Each structure stands twice: as structure tokens, then as C-alpha cells.
Structure 1
Amino acid sequence: MEHQQKSPPRVTRFDGLDFAPRFAFPQMCKVVEVAGLADRSALAGGFARFTAAEIPWQLRYDELILVLEGEFTVETAEGRLSAGPRDTIWLPAGTKVTYIAENALVFYSLQPASWASEEAAL
């Protein structure tokens, strides 16, 4: 396998980001990735805005969520995890969740960044 060099270090300015609808509920979540497969990295990360959201999902990756604005709740089989600004939520791969928020901005980091392409290969 040919080794490809990762992207060089950089700064991404929040004011220049272009959020796009995500999930099957585009009115509830808009996302922008700031690092990931395009950087040839196993780690992905970005920002997500949730508005009047209640989004069911099953994680196919490990995820760490940092709440920047608002209140963000993740419902799991083990219970509800609620977090406010500067709080984090850790979620292991395989967890069934419902993301819940009236109005929240979060930063997420997940691994592997290739989860969607790995899923498509199955």
C-alpha cells in the first residue's frame, strides 16, 4: 500500500465555515467538517449546529462531543447525558443514541474518519 503524506498543519477560521444539512433531518442539524479523510487522517472533526433536534443514530465510530453553546443531550440505553458549554460527552462505537437539542453548537471529533466508506464496503 502506498503511503500518502497527511495534510500540513493549518488554521481553519470559524467565520469562513459553510455548514451543510446532515442526517435524514436536514432542518435539525447542519455540519461542517474541518479535518478528516481529505487530510488523509484517521481522525475527523468538525462543528455541528442542532436546532429543535431529536435525531436517532447508531454510532459507527468513537465520538467525543464538546458543547460550545446551548444545552446538548444524548439519550442512550444507559440513560440521558446532558451537557452545557465547555462540557464533553464521550460515546463509544456501536452506541445507539438520540441527539437532542433546542439550539446548540458543538464540536465533534470521531475515529475512524473512514467509517462511512467502510460501511459502504460491507
Structure 2
Amino acid sequence: MTDIDKAPARLNRFADLSFQPRFAYPEMADVVEVAGLADRSELSGGFARFRDADIPWQVQYDELILVISGKFAVETPQGRLDAGPIDTIWLPAGTRVRYLAASALVFYSLQPASWVNAATAA
């Protein structure tokens, strides 16, 4: 895939974004993707809002999380990672985690964006 095959550059205004409940834990998290497969990119990113969250997961992609507001924690087999505003958390693919937050807004970036297709094909 060449850069020409990808969607053109654009601005995403936060105020215009439409958050949707996260598939498995709609009462704990809302997400909105701002770039990803729809742009024909293997890099995906977006925002997530967490409230009273305790979400178990196994990361299927490399993920970088930037905390924008609130406090956000990730429990991993190696220990708990506590982050506040402007802190980042790096999670390599395959890591078993628990996302924890009373109230937080984060930006995430993950690669590959096609992880869902890869997981269902396996």
C-alpha cells in the first residue's frame, strides 16, 4: 500500500466526535476512532472515556495510551501502572491487562489497526 492509497489528511475536532459504547463494557467505556482502517492505515487511534471501569482484556496489538484527564491504571502480570494527565502507558501485543479508572479520558494509538480481522482469522 502506498501513501497515495490512503485517505487524505484531515482535522478531527474533539467537539464534533461521536463517542460510542465500547462493545463489551458499554457502562464503563465509550470510544471514538479518529484514524484507522477506514483511512486504509495500519495505525489506529482515538479517544476513550472511562467511568467506574474495571475491564479485563488481552491486548491484541501494540498500544500506546496517553492520559488526558483523570487517573488511569493498567494492571499487567508485571504489576500496576498508574498514570495521570500527560503520562503514557506502553502495552505490547499479547499483554493480559485490566483497565481501571474512576473517571478518565485517554487517547490511544494501536498497531495493527486490522487486529480484529487477524484475531478472527486465527
Instruction: State the TM-score, normalizing by the size of structure 2.
Output: 0.96
Query: Aligned equivalents of 1:107 and 1:27: distance in 2?
Result: 19
**Residue identity opposite 2:88 in structure 1:** T
Query: Aligned equivalents of 1:5 and 1:99: distance in 2?
Result: 35
Structure 2: runs of 5+ lacking an equivalent: none
Q: Render the CA deviation track for 1:5-64: whole Å, top value 9, x for unaligned.
A: 001111000000000011411100000000000000010000000000000000010000
Match of 2:79 in 1: 79
Shift of residue 120 of structure 1?
A: 1.4
Shift of residue 121 of structure 1?
A: 1.6
**Residue identity opposite 2:118 in structure 1:** E
Structure 1: runs of 5+ lacking an equivalent: none
3-state SS of 2:80 partner: strand
Shift of residue 96 of structure 1?
A: 0.1
Instruction: State the TM-score, normalizing by the size of structure 1.
Output: 0.96
Query: Aligned equivalents of 2:6 and 2:62: distance in 1?
Result: 21
Match of 1:25 in 2: 25
Match of 1:49 in 2: 49
Number of residue pairs matched? 121
% identical equivalent positions: 65
Return structure 1 stretches of 4+ with deviation > 2 angstroms: none
Match of 1:94 in 2: 94
